[in-house]
């Protein structure tokens, strides 16, 4: 990483952005929790210092509906001479600090922690690479990005004191990005209200979340004009009960789950590939059997969830692909058990003649199991059973766990026997967003081209999950299979109460907004790790100026704001 002096094209941003970063990082805002409100208040304090509160067209806190932590989005808005509007987006929450171990007391004190890290480097207990890095929880992911947005809006507010801005600018600081993105989902409705109130045309949204090197020694910085998506399929694996001394009378559900995991996890055949980029392969996020205590019965129910990142695969396509693979895995496993039983019986009984009946099983989606069970019982009875199961559990139960209970209950009342695999979806769902030809993309390309010394490279898909997924919905995405196979999905009806523990996305509102997205963020390392840090020279000095020039390009734009 180049030094601050070598890489900084405009040092007048540096001290302000560094100061704002430190001040934001000192506020504990682990998601989900009420600390996210404290950092939202600090965002407003920083925006309004020096009497700038009188300059903004509007600013404040927008409450998250039905939120158990009473959290808010912070916002500031400057109305320019044009309805064309750029949104500066950033999230204000972080993951926990327990991973810092003995250094946890310093995790929210970037200056002290950075001093300690430099001391460790000098003592040779940790590797280091210069004094350009500021350490601390959230400094890269992404309070430094929020600090840049604050500095930009303050600079534009000062400019608005003497001239009317040619462009309208909105800053949004959202909680809960590290959890289920409740902040930006509330912001969807806020953006619609603001758009109607001021007759705005949204040119696009720039998220300033961190990016990092793509390989060791990578000298580049990156800007992205789309974002990766995510689906979380669950697999309920049903075996057959049996005494462990007679395992051929049953099916070990853990074995079935293990074979599926071996086939699916880290399998690059399931990666999406688009225009030179490839998603990270799927990995499991949780796996366990459903036995509550020790006994000598085979575990006959197990489950796991699979994290699948997407560039183009939609929920229906993934479900079809996974069902096909699961059927192949189940067929191979049962054939292997058949053959093992033949060998075992010959070894233990000396018999080659005994007939072994071939085992068979089934792979069903949740929607298929539901329809089959309704035919076996009735729609009213199935709904009554599932509602009773829902009410059995507290409102604060994790949505992934609630999903599993509902799928297992449906299997139980279906009257079917294993072996079987039930495929379903659990929250959260992040739609992927492709690059959109638009003036925002033109502005970013122009700024990248104007500054070759920054070694900026433009890619399409931001490779990390982000709030950008909820501001644009690509036309080709089919969400029908998602809703039909997600047990906790609840369509929202105007005025209807939200069912505790349910999951919903305002997909129609997102489609109506249809905002082009970009991530043009700080350079960091070690996000969600104890060595999280941000490169100060680029992030505090160079990047704010690049973003300011992007805004100036957009301000000079005239004509229809976007074709996206």
- Average pLDDT of span 426-443: 95
Q: Which of 18-32, 243-257, 260-274, 534-548 has the lowest mean pLDDT?
A: 243-257
- Which pLDDT score is estimated for 518? 97
Element (H, E) at 72: strand 72-78
Six token digits for residue 270: 């399931």
Mean pLDDT of all residues in 120-137: 70
What pLDDT is stored for residue 563 in this prediction? Answer: 42
Please name the residue ranges forming H helices in 26-109.
Answer: 35-48
Predicted pLDDT at 338: 92
Predicted confidence band at 2 (pLDDT cuts at 50, 70, 90)?
very low
Q: How confident is the model at residue 492 (pLDDT cuts 50, 70, 90)?
A: confident
Q: With a cut of 80, say whether residue 229 has pLDDT above it.
A: yes
Look at residue 373 in the predicted model and tell me its pLDDT.
Answer: 97
Q: How confident is the model at residue 325 (pLDDT cuts 50, 70, 90)?
A: very high
Q: What is the pLDDT of residue 350?
A: 72
DSSP string, 179-201: TT-HHHHHHHHHHHHHHHHHT-E
Cβ atoms of residues 89 and 153 within 8 Å: no
Residue 184 to residue 205: CA distance in whole angstroms: 12
Q: Give the mean pLDDT of the chain.
A: 92
Residue 559 has pLDDT above 50, yes or no: no
State the average pLDDT over residues 15-43: 96
Distance CA 545, CA 12 (A): 9
pLDDT digits (tens, 9 = 90+) for 63-76: 999 888 999 999 99
257, pLDDT greater than 50: yes
DSSP-derived pairing of the beta strands 533-535 and 133-135: antiparallel
Mean pLDDT of 121-136: 69
Closest residue by Cα to residue 447 from 337, 545, 527: 545
pTM of the model: 0.90
| pLDDT over 70 at 3, yes or no | no
Interhelix angle 399-414/366-376, rounded to 10 degrees, is 40
Is the predicted pLDDT of residue 126 greater than 80, yes or no? no
Kindly indicate the confidence band of residue 129, based on its pLDDT and cuts at 50, 70 and 90: low
| Alpha helices (runs of H) in 415-502, residue ranges in sequence order | 439-450, 480-484
| Beta bridge mates, 364 | 422
pLDDT in tens, 169-178: 999 999 999 9
Task: Give the per-residue pLDDT at 1.
Answer: 31
Query: How do residues 381-397 score in pLDDT, each as one tens digit?
Result: 999 999 999 999 998 89
Q: Which two tokens stand for residue 128?
A: 């280091």
Question: Does the pLDDT at position 562 exceed 60?
Answer: no
Angle at which helix 379-392 crosses helix 366-376, to 10 degrees, equals 120
- What distances in angstroms separate CA 422 from CA 127, 249, 369, one per listed residue? 47, 22, 8
φ/ψ of 306, rounded to 5, equals: -125, 120
Is the per-residue pLDDT at 181 higher than 90? yes
For residue 292, the model assigns a pLDDT of 86
Question: Comparing C-alpha atoms, which of 202, 240, 231 is closest to residue 89?
Answer: 202
Contact (Cβ atoms closer than 8 angstroms) between residue 544 and residue 536: no
pLDDT band at 493 (very low <50, low <70, confident <90, very high): low
User: With 60 as the cut, is the pLDDT of residue 128 above it?
Assistant: no
Cα(383)–Cα(225) distance, rounded to whole angstroms?
Answer: 43
* Weakest-pLDDT range from 305-309, 328-332, 471-475: 471-475
Residues pairing with 170 in the sheet: 77, 87
> In the structure, what pLDDT confidence band is assigned to residue 475 with cuts at 50, 70 and 90?
confident
- CA 449, 451, 453, 456 torsion-angle sign: negative
What per-residue confidence (pLDDT) applies to 5?
Answer: 38
**Helix, strand, coil shares, percent, the chain, to 5:** 45, 20, 35
Q: What is the pLDDT of residues 289-304, one digit of tens each?
A: 998 888 888 888 999 9
**Quick one: pLDDT band at residue 130, thresholds 50, 70, 90?**
low
| Predicted local distance difference test score (pLDDT) of residue 352 | 63
Per-residue 3-state assignment (H helix, E strand, C coil) for 196-252: HHHCCEEEEEEECCCECCCCCCCCCEEEEEEECEEECEEEEEECECCECCCHHHCEC
Query: In the block, which residue shows the tokens 């690509």?
Result: 474
Tell me what the mean pLDDT of segment 183-211 comes to: 97
CB 433 within 8 A of CB 468: yes
Query: Which tokens belong to 383?
Result: 């709904």
Predicted pLDDT of residue 304: 98
Mean pLDDT of 310-336: 97
């Amino acid at each position: 990483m180049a030094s601050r002096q070598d890489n900084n094209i405009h040092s007048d941003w540096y001290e302000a952005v560094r100061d704002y970063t430190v001040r934001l990082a000192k506020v504990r805002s682990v998601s989900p929790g009420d600390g996210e409100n404290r950092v939202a208040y600090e965002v407003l304090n920083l925006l309004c210092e020096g009497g700038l509160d009188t300059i903004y067209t509007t600013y404040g806190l927008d409450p998250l509906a039905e939120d158990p932590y009473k959290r808010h989005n912070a916002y500031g808005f400057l109305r320019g001479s044009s309805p064309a509007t750029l949104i500066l987006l950033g999230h204000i929450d972080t993951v926990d600090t327990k991973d810092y171990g003995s250094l946890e007391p310093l995790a929210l004190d970037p200056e002290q922690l950075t001093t300690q890290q430099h001391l460790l480097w000098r003592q040779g207990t940790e590797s280091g690479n210069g004094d350009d890095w500021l350490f601390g929880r959230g400094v890269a992911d992404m309070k430094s990005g929020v600090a840049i947005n604050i500095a930009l809006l303050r600079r534009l507010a000062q400019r608005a004191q003497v001239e009317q801005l040619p462009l309208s600018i909105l800053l949004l600081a959202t909680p809960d990005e590290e959890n289920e993105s409740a902040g930006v989902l509330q912001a969807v409705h806020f953006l619609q209200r603001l758009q109607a109130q001021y007759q705005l045309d949204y040119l696009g949204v720039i998220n300033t979340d961190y990016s990092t090197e793509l390989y060791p020694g990578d000298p580049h910085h990156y800007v992205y004009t789309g974002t990766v998506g995510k689906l979380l399929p669950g697999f309920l694996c049903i075996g057959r009960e049996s005494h462990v001394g007679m395992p051929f009378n049953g099916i070990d559900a853990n074995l079935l789950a293990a074979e599926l995991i071996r086939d699916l996890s880290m399998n690059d055949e399931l990666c999406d590939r688009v225009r030179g980029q490839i998603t990270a392969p799927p990995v499991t996020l949780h796996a366990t059997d459903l036995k509550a205590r020790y006994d000598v019965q085979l575990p006959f129910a197990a489950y796991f969830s699979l994290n699948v990142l997407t560039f183009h695969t939609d929920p229906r396509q993934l479900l079809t692909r996974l069902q096909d693979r699961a059927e192949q895995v189940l067929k191979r496993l049962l054939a292997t058990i058949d053959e093992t039983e033949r060998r075992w019986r010959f070894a233990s009984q000396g018999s080659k003649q005994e007939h072994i009946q071939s085992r068979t099983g089934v792979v069903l989606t949740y929607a298929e199991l539901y329809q089959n069970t309704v035919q076996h019982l009735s729609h009213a009875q199935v709904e009554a059973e599932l509602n009773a199961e829902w009410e059995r559990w507290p409102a604060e139960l994790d949505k992934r766990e609630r999903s599993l209970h509902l799928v297992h209950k449906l299997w139980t009342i279906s009257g079917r026997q294993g072996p079987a695999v039930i495929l379903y979806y659990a929250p959260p769902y992040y739609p992927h967003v492709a690059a959109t030809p638009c003036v925002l993309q033109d502005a970013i390309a122009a700024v990248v081209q104007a500054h070759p010394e920054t070694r900026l490279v433009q890619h399409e898909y931001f490779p990390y999950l982000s709030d950008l997924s909820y501001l644009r919905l690509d036309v080709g995405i089919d969400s029908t299979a998602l809703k039909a196979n997600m047990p906790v999905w609840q369509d929202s009806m105007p005025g209807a109460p939200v069912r505790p523990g349910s999951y919903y996305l305002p997909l129609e509102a997102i489609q109506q907004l249809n905002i082009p997205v970009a991530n043009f963020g700080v350079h960091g390392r070690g996000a969600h790790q104890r060595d999280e840090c941000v490169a100060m020279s680029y992030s505090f000095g160079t990047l704010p100026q690049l973003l300011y020039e992007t805004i100036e390009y957009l301000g000079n734009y005239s004509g229809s704001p976007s074709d996206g």
